[in-house]
Amino acid sequence: RIIFGFLEPEDLKDVLLVSKNWKSVADEPILWAGFDLPRKCRRNVQKFYRFLDFSLSTKLQHLTLTGDEPPNDINEYDDHFKFEIKDKHIKHLMNLELASVEIKNIDLSKVSDEVLGQFINKCKECDITEYYEDEPPNNNLNLSSDDDDEEKLFLGVKKITSIFKAIQEALEGSRLKSLRLKYARRQEYKERMNLDLSAIPSDILVAAFSRLEILDLEDVFLNSEQLSSIFDLGFGRSLRRLRLHGVEMDFIQARHLIKVLDTNCQLKKLELSEVDVSDIPSMFFAGVINKIEWVVFKDMEVDSDQLEEMFLAIIRGDSAMKHLGMFGMNDSLSDVDEEVFATAVNMLESVAFDENLSKDLTEQMFNVMSIQTNLKIIGMPGKQIPVDAFENIQEVDEKVLAEALNNLRSVRIDLGNFDRDCFFNMPQLITFFKQLSSRSELKRIVREDWPDWSRFPY
């Protein structure tokens, strides 16, 4: 099974034909996790039907619905449907036991709201990305309007609402456990805007969200009444992961959210961005956040007192937190006591900060790390940060840095690339590698980007 795990689905289908023994191993669902609808079936409708009649289609776990030319942020190698998707195509797909579906950049106007809703409701995970090409008159894109803006959207409020209604009506019969709804610009230079979902009735949103285990909303606009209803009734006991990125809320709504997280939710992972929580008492804020294992803050309005109290709770052992990421928050971090900061982060399993973390915090973090640390990586699980990209890393003593990095389990060193400098100096690099031969906890050294040697400071 380990060897078969290195094979692509295109090769696995040949393995199935070798022998009964090989087939019994190659049939395991985990080996087919990346299997998507073959490219030829997206280009020809007859081949689409033929594939779905073939036994291999039962291996299909994930489906990506894309069409037309991709926007700039979609991988150029993605496969796009060359024929118009209609009800009959979706109904054939509903016969499969799909685990996840991703919808982006495709016109589904010929698919009825009811059929699309039922289809998504049969999947465990749904990822919807809505694109907007031109700039509307204001920063919120109103999907409920009947003007020309509606024609520039691929789904629109009607179909998004139908998806939520299908979840609401399915009651306990819904398989959907994860929902991601995102707005994305087709051109990176366009001004960032929000999808206006204020026309969707609150009770539909509440019913749809209350059964989810994962909810991810990015750059959507919800009115005050919707937010209050979702916070009070839409976050069910089953919710384990919540990401709100660019979801506008005032300080009253932010306080409401934190109170709900304290009393009604059992989150394991929380990601918040662009929310002002500075009005919330430090002790209360720290108590709520420290109940959560995985926390990521980005561009948040947070007082240094709140952060320091959060770090002190970690030091006291009053915390369940294991992973912490903080981005765009150096102003707040700079006023936190360096020793408190460094001691706390070294009690976690992973931490991630901006590359321009202050000199004092950078030095103290590695000083403590060189003596003793619980940290396994710099970065978040699955996304390490190159330690040589920290702008103040050269201020750390070479011996201290070597001992600190060798106390980790994995370290990423890119040695610079075409858009990022390397801030290691040569003595630091030599001392680090020398330390490897004496005493080290390191299991892996990762380089994710090919180095640009012109950026390395010889």
Give 166-188 pLDDT, tens digit per residue. Answer: 877 776 667 889 999 998 866 56
Degrees to nearest 5, angle at CA 122 with 202 and 99? 115
- Between the CA of residue 196 and those of 160, 220, 221, 290, 389, what are the distances in Å? 12, 6, 5, 32, 38
H, E, C per residue of 77-97: CCCCECCCCCHHHHHHHCCCC
- Provide the 3-class DSSP secondary structure of residue 304: helix
Q: Which two tokens stand for residue 419?
A: 């858009």
Name residue, tokens 């959060």. Answer: 310
Nearest alpha-carbon partner for 128 in 183, 71, 200: 183
> From start to end of 274-370, where are the E strands?
294-298, 323-327, 350-353
Adjacency order of strands within the sheet including 269-273: 62-66, 100-104, 125-132, 178-185, 214-218, 241-245, 269-273, 294-298, 323-327, 350-353, 377-380, 383-384
One digit per residue, the tens of pLDDT, for the chain of length 458 reads 566 555 566 666 666 667 777 666 666 666 556 667 778 888 888 988 888 887 777 778 888 888 765 455 444 445 688 888 999 999 998 888 888 999 988 888 888 888 888 888 889 999 998 877 555 444 554 544 444 444 455 677 778 888 888 877 776 667 889 999 998 866 565 677 888 899 999 999 998 898 899 999 999 999 999 999 999 988 888 899 999 999 999 999 999 999 999 987 689 999 999 999 999 999 999 999 999 999 999 999 999 999 999 999 999 999 999 999 999 999 999 999 999 999 999 999 999 999 999 999 999 999 999 999 999 999 999 899 999 999 999 999 999 999 999 999 999 998 877 667 888 999 999 999 998 878 889 999 988 766 555 544 44
**138: CB partners within 8 A, 6+ apart:** none
pTM: 0.85
Are 308 and 280 in contact, with CB atoms under 8 Å apart?
Answer: no
**396: CB partners within 8 A, 6+ apart:** 362, 363, 366, 367, 404, 428
Specify the pLDDT at position 148.
42
Name residue, tokens 């280009």. Answer: 43
Q: Which two tokens stand for residue 118?
A: 């039922």
Specify the pLDDT at position 303.
94
202 phi and psi angles, rounded to 5 deg: -60, -35
Nearest alpha-carbon partner for 123 in 107, 141, 100: 100
Specify the pLDDT at position 147.
44
Give 414-450 pLDDT, tens digit per residue. Answer: 887 766 788 899 999 999 999 887 888 999 998 876 6
- Provide the 3-class DSSP secondary structure of residue 352: strand
- Provide the 3-class DSSP secondary structure of residue 182: strand
